[in-house]
């Protein structure tokens, strides 16, 4: 059996106004997993548990084969972690930070660091407080990438970046994966970024994982059916249809396990299928979250 | 694995604070220079300035090295490195205490040498120097302990205010004690039971605060 890079099993964490409930997650080596959730869904808490910075109340957490949080020191030698609330020392230069990281990590790749300096348009001798927000994010990621970690854990790394900076960072992330042994867990509420680079997608909402599978499977399974419903015809509740919105004679049905039979089933009731549309990851995400909330509230 | 990450973090803290440390030593030496100059006003100004520089150093160092780590959000950066919470605490305690103790010790030794070297200053005043310097050390330890254990700027400010208020009270107790007062003017230092009790109490408080800080940190379940 392939060793998993990340394995969360039944992880629980309770706060006063929020709790993570039975989080189960698996990331095989060489994969990029996008963790998508609205604000306050539990992405950062999950990631902090993965890093050993927050102790779970229950459940098992293993990262690169190490039990967390007990073996966080061993695990962190091979993890590159960056989050949107992470800052470098403002008064110090990027070069100072590079020297600090180089003195800690034997695998520090000085040539790659120089290459990233050029690609990101950064000056090592510049102080962090003189950088723009985008440059600070790039500087942080440079320090993470040049360690050559086996696992990258990135918590909202592209938040607040302009499209060009986002593109540069996503391109570099894809480049990191040129080495097949590397893996990335990448949280965001920006579905475009996740869709662009992820192999697997996990949706999280209100402290629960609501769905987790290959990106292509998501895109393949989810469909939106535009229907024309003649007067007197009532649309049946079909398996695989998670949501139907009807206004007058027009209806939109959303399916999370689409098969051509579904269209036939609607046609058999007297409705006419006007179109079957693929959905973007953002549309799938929103539909998934709404469906999950309806189920929980029901 | 290169060296020790704890050692690297301690050295990086020293590196970041080197100008502040040098500035503190310079301020203290300047104050001692005023005392050495002689005369009532320069002596009073110099000795006040001397202790103020120790107090300021004791208050600023924990804020700069511990509280700002959380406030300026550099803590996640440090905790992404291969260290545990206990190792981070150790690094912060050693660096913060070291960065205070080196200038503190340098200035206290310089003050002692000045007292011994100057004929017009009675050597008995050395006990005052040690007791008052001990106050500033205790004050620093409490502020640093509160800063590390609570990671709260508000609680650190409360501890700082409480400690700064207590310096006046401590000074008042010293002046009111006849035995101590007599000893201060003596040609040689008088190591009376009272003086030794005060100095040992200060050392005991420092040890207790350090132990409590480690204990509180070791019980934390959520660090960021």
Which pLDDT value is given to residue A227?
93
pLDDT tens digits along A52-64: 989 999 999 999 9
The predicted model gives A187-208 an average pLDDT of 88
- In chain A, which residue's Cα lies nearest the Cα of B6? A104
Pairing of strands A6-14, A58-63: antiparallel
Q: What is the ipTM of this complex?
A: 0.86
What length does chain A have?
298
Question: Which residues does A292 contact at the CB level (< 8 Å), separation at least 6?
Answer: A203, A205, A208, A210, A211
Q: With 90 as the cut, is the pLDDT of residue A117 above it?
A: yes
A81 alpha-carbon distance from chain centroid: 14
| Torsion angle of C-alpha atoms A89, A92, A94, A96, degrees rounded to 10 | -110
Structure tokens at A273: 């299928």
Which pLDDT value is given to residue A39?
87
Question: For residues A107 and A80, is the Cβ–Cβ distance under 8 A?
Answer: no
pLDDT tier, A178 (very low <50, low <70, confident <90, very high otherwise): confident
CATH code for the domain defined by A6-218: 3.40.50.300
Candidates A76, A78, A82, A127: best to mutate against B (most CBs of B within 10 A) is A76
Which architecture does CATH list for A223-278?
Answer: 2-Layer Sandwich (3.30)
pLDDT tier, A236 (very low <50, low <70, confident <90, very high otherwise): confident
The reply to whether residue B2 touches residue A103, judged by beta carbons under 8 angstroms, is yes
Which pLDDT value is given to residue A180?
65
The reply to whether residue A103 touches residue B1, judged by beta carbons under 8 angstroms, is no
What percentage of chain A reaches a pLDDT higher than 90? 60
The reply to whether residue B2 touches residue A82, judged by beta carbons under 8 angstroms, is no
Q: Which of A138-147, A247-256, B210-219 has the lowest mean pLDDT?
A: B210-219
Structure tokens at B171: 């000074």
What residues does each domain of chain A span? Answer: 6-218, 223-278
pLDDT tier, A93 (very low <50, low <70, confident <90, very high otherwise): very high
65-84 in chain B: CB under 8 A from chain A: 72-74, 76-77, 79-84
Which pLDDT value is given to residue B2?
46
User: What is the mean pLDDT, run by run of 10 residues, along chain B of 224 residues?
Assistant: 80 94 92 88 90 89 91 93 89 92 94 88 88 92 90 90 84 81 81 91 93 82 66
Which pLDDT value is given to residue A77?
95
Q: Greatest CA separation found in chain B?
A: 60
Which pLDDT value is given to residue A295?
80
Which pLDDT value is given to residue B222?
67
The reply to whether residue A54 touches residue B223, judged by beta carbons under 8 angstroms, is yes
Rounded to two decimals, the pTM is 0.86
pLDDT tier, A223 (very low <50, low <70, confident <90, very high otherwise): very high
The predicted model gives A149-159 an average pLDDT of 91
On chain B, the residues whose CB falls within 8 A of the CB of A83 are 76
pLDDT tier, A1 (very low <50, low <70, confident <90, very high otherwise): very low
The residue whose two tokens read 């987790």 is A212
pLDDT tens digits along A32-52: 999 999 888 999 999 999 999
Question: Which residues does A136 contact at the CB level (< 8 Å), separation at least 6?
Answer: A87, A88, A128
**Rounded CA separation B59/B78 (Å):** 23
**Rounded CA separation A243/A250 (Å):** 14
Between A237 and A103, residue with greater pLDDT: A103
**Rounded CA separation A167/A165 (Å):** 5
């Amino acid at each position: 059996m392939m060793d998993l890079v990340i394995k969360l099993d039944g992880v629980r964490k309770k706060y006063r106004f929020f709790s993570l409930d039975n989080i189960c997650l698996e990331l095989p080596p060489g994969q990029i997993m996008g963790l998508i959730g609205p604000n306050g869904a539990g992405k950062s808490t999950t990631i902090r548990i993965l890093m050993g910075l927050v102790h779970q109340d229950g459940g098992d957490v293993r990262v690169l084969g190490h039990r967390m949080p007990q073996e966080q020191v061993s695990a962190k030698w091979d993890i590159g972690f960056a989050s949107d609330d992470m800052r470098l020392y403002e008064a110090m230069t990027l070069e100072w930070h590079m020297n600090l990281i180089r003195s800690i990590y034997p695998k520090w790749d000085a040539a790659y660091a120089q290459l990233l300096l050029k690609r990101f348009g950064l000056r090592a001798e510049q102080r962090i407080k003189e950088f723009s927000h985008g440059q600070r994010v790039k500087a942080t990621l440079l320090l993470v990438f040049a360690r050559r970690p086996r696992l990258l854990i990135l918590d909202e790394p592209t938040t607040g970046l302009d499209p060009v900076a986002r593109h540069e960072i996503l391109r570099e992330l894809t480049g990191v994966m040129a080495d097949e042994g590397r893996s990335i867990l990448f949280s965001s509420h920006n579905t475009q970024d996740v869709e662009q680079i992820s192999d697997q997608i996990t949706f999280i909402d209100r402290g629960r994982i609501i769905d987790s599978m290959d990106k292509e499977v998501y895109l393949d399974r989810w469909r939106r059916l535009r229907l024309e419903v003649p007067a007197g015809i009532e649309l049946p509740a079909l398996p695989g249809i998670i949501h139907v919105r009807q206004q007058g004679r027009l209806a939109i049905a959303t399916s999370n396990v689409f098969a051509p039979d579904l269209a036939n089933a609607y046609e058999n009731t007297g409705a006419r299928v006007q179109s079957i549309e693929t959905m973007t990851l953002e549309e799938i995400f929103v539909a998934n979250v709404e469906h999950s909330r309806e189920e929980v509230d029901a | 694995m290169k060296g020790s990450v704890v050692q690297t973090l301690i050295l990086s803290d020293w590196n970041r604070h080197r100008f502040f440390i040098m500035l503190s030593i310079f301020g203290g030496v300047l104050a001692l220079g005023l005392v050495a100059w002689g005369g009532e006003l320069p002596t009073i100004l110099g000795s006040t300035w001397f202790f103020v520089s120790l107090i300021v150093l004791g208050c600023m160092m924990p804020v700069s090295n511990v509280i700002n780590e959380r406030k300026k959000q550099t803590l996640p950066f440090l905790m992404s490195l291969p260290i545990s919470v206990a190792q981070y605490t150790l690094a912060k305690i050693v660096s913060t205490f070291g960065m205070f103790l080196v200038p503190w010790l340098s200035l206290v030794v310089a003050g002692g040498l000045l007292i011994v070297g100057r004929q017009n200053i009675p050597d008995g005043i050395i006990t005052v120097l040690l007791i008052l310097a001990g106050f500033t050390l205790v004050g620093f330890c409490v502020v640093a302990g509160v800063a590390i254990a609570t990671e709260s700027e508000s609680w650190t400010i409360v501890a700082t205010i409480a400690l700064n208020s207590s310096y006046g009270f401590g000074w008042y107790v010293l002046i009111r004690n006849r035995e101590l007062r007599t000893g201060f003017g003596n040609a040689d230092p008088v190591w009376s039971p009272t003086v030794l009790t005060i100095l040992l109490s200060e050392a005991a408080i420092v040890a207790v605060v350090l132990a409590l800080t480690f204990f509180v940190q070791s019980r934390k379940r959520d660090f960021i």
